[in-house]
Chain A
Amino acid sequence: MTGLGAPEERDPDFLARLVARDREALGRFYEIYFERIHGYVRRMVGDETLAEDVTQDVFLHLQRAIPTFDLGRELSPWVFTIATNKVRDLWRSKRHQMEGRGAGFDDEGEARPEPVEVRPGPPLELEGAEARAALSAAVEALPAGLRATFLLRWHEELEFDEIGRILERNEGAARKRYSRALAELRRILEDSARAARRGR
């Protein structure tokens, strides 16, 4: 995992100051979450301008909602629930749908036919910038439901039951989605590696 969970997220004193809208605590909160929320939203909406709009919506919503945060809850799942809901609002917006860019967290992609013969794939041999680009493209090619599950687990290290609540699924479904996301990523990356070899 590459999650960047900060110790403050579970520090009762920090959380109490945050709820009291203490400027220093809010500043630290912003430092902890800005890159994470922007990154999550950017991967979900696939466009930087939209990502900025949604990220701003998320933080302004958080600004108003922080005084109501229940200190008995975990902070990150609460924050990413709000971020996910803002992405969902965007997808449901009239303009977005009119532009034919509709998407939804229910999207898990088409069920693939069962392979007749299962063979081990080629090694994932992309390296460096090539690997990062291929990986980034592969993540963005995932169906939205799998992509959100993958990002919330891999980057944010949320538990499956928390991811399930955020995406309105149960824990088992979230776990299954994560496995599917990993399998799908592997398939896409293997295809990229094959294509890269053919091009050399």
Chain B
Amino acid sequence: MSSERDQQGANASDGEPDAEMRRVLGALDRPAARPDFRAALRERFLANAAVEAPEDSRFDAASRSPWSASPPSGRAIETPPTLRRLVVLAGALAAAAAIVLTLFLTRPRTALWRVHADSTATAVLVDGVALRVDDSTRLAEALLSARELEVVSGTLRLCVRDEVWIELAPGTKLSQMRFAAAGPYHVRTDRGSFAVATLPSFDGRGMRVLTDDLDLRVTGTIFSVDVDANGSCVCTLEGSVRCDAAGGKGPKPVESGRMCYAYRDRSEPTWAAAYEPHMKPLRELRAAIE
């Protein structure tokens, strides 16, 4: 369109806004984000930053501190007892500080994700990268920023932040994972069977679980989501899950012992007593974590 009307608001010569539009557009703000979302994402974004190298690791004899100089060879130097004690004390303090620092730096990274001893999965795909389940340190590091997790064979049980246990049956794939320090957890089940059991420390956290057919909000419960070719099923063992099912008439709770099956073709969902084959793994999960 090249009519005069089209040019209103813009200088015809350069396509930039005229003075009046610039004044008006000056009031346009960027939408603000939630501070806790901003902070949590920052933490994840910086989680895999390179470890800072020393400023200059090259050995430079000329600039070396005289206090660290080696004594001339072939000549014993008698250190006064007080000085020796100070040196020993300083060394002990430095060692203690190093231990504390190491514990501090490693604690959150390894404690965030923990593999249950009963897990039978031996390898998983984290963001498409194959990792051994028994390499717990590397797995925990990878899960810190993971968006996708897939279990090829065996069952994987993971504890997140000592707040929630999740279980992935063989063939299960999760995506859009968000287990940040702040804000509700978020995960999408692309396929397979995904079970969740919240712990007392989960209180107030909240969790959202999506499939192609379901949108679940969780505040504290034990439940599972099973995605098959025809739709998605949610079964609740304890507590309740707020369930917005495709083809349904808005969110409804799925209480303990109940289920909802949402169909891929968007026909009316089935709300019924829980499906026993889906409840059995939930009971096993509950028993395993008690």
Stretch at the interface among B22-30, B63-71, B81-89: B22-30
Among A35, A43, A64, A183, which residue has its beta carbon within 8 angstroms of that of B7? Answer: A183
Tell me how far the C-beta of A18 lies from the nearest C-beta in chain B, rounded to whole angstroms.
10
Instruction: Give complex CA distance A118, B5 in Å.
Output: 6
Residues of chain A within 8 A of B42, CB atoms compared: 27, 30, 34
User: Once the chains bind, are A179 and B45 in contact (CB under 8 Å)?
Assistant: no
Instruction: Give complex CA distance A95, B211 in Å.
Output: 9
Query: Within residues 1 to 20 of chain B, which ones have a CB less than 8 A from any CB in chain A?
Result: 1, 3-10, 15, 17, 20
Query: Known contacts being A60-B45, A112-B1, A186-B21, is A39 close to B27, with CB within 8 Å?
Result: no
Closest to B49 in A: A23
User: Once the chains bind, are A124 and B21 in contact (CB under 8 Å)?
Assistant: yes
Residues of chain A within 8 A of B29, CB atoms compared: 132, 136
Query: Known contacts being A38-B33, A53-B176, is A182 close to B9, with CB within 8 Å?
Result: yes
Max chain A C-beta neighbours (<10 A), residue from B21, B44, B210: B21
Query: Known contacts being A34-B38, A55-B41, A185-B21, is A179 close to B212, with CB within 8 Å?
Result: no
Query: Within residues 157 to 200 of chain A, which ones have a CB less than 8 A from any CB in chain B?
Result: 160, 175-176, 178-180, 182-183, 185-187, 189
Residues of chain B within 8 A of A27, CB atoms compared: 42, 46
Query: Known contacts being A56-B41, A115-B3, is A22 close to B50, with CB within 8 Å?
Result: yes
Residues of chain A within 8 A of B9, CB atoms compared: 182-183, 185-186
Residues of chain A within 8 A of B33, CB atoms compared: 34-35, 38, 42, 51-52, 55
User: Once the chains bind, are A186 and B28 in contact (CB under 8 Å)?
Assistant: no
Question: Does B252 lie at the interface of the complex (its beta carbon under 8 Å from any beta carbon of A)?
Answer: no
- Tell me the total A-B contact number using a CB cutoff of 8 A: 143
Residues of chain B within 8 A of A57, CB atoms compared: 147, 176
Residues of A in contact (CB 8 Å), total 59
Residues of chain B within 8 A of A21, CB atoms compared: 48-50
7 additional contacts (CB under 8 A) given A22-B49, A48-B34? A2-B28, A21-B48, A23-B50, A30-B42, A42-B31, A63-B44, A112-B5
What is the interface of chain A, defined by CB distance below 8 A to chain B?
2, 20-23, 26-27, 30, 34-36, 38-39, 42-43, 48, 51-53, 55-57, 59-60, 62-64, 94-95, 98, 111-112, 114-115, 118, 120-121, 123-124, 126, 131-132, 135-136, 139, 154-155, 160, 175-176, 178-180, 182-183, 185-187, 189
What is the interface of chain B, defined by CB distance below 8 A to chain A?
1, 3-10, 15, 17, 20-21, 23-34, 37-38, 41-42, 44-46, 48-50, 52, 127, 145, 147, 176, 178, 186, 210, 212, 246, 266
In the A-B complex, list the 9 residue pairs whose CB atoms are closest, starting with the nearest: A39-B30, A186-B9, A23-B49, A182-B9, A21-B50, A42-B31, A182-B10, A38-B33, A179-B10
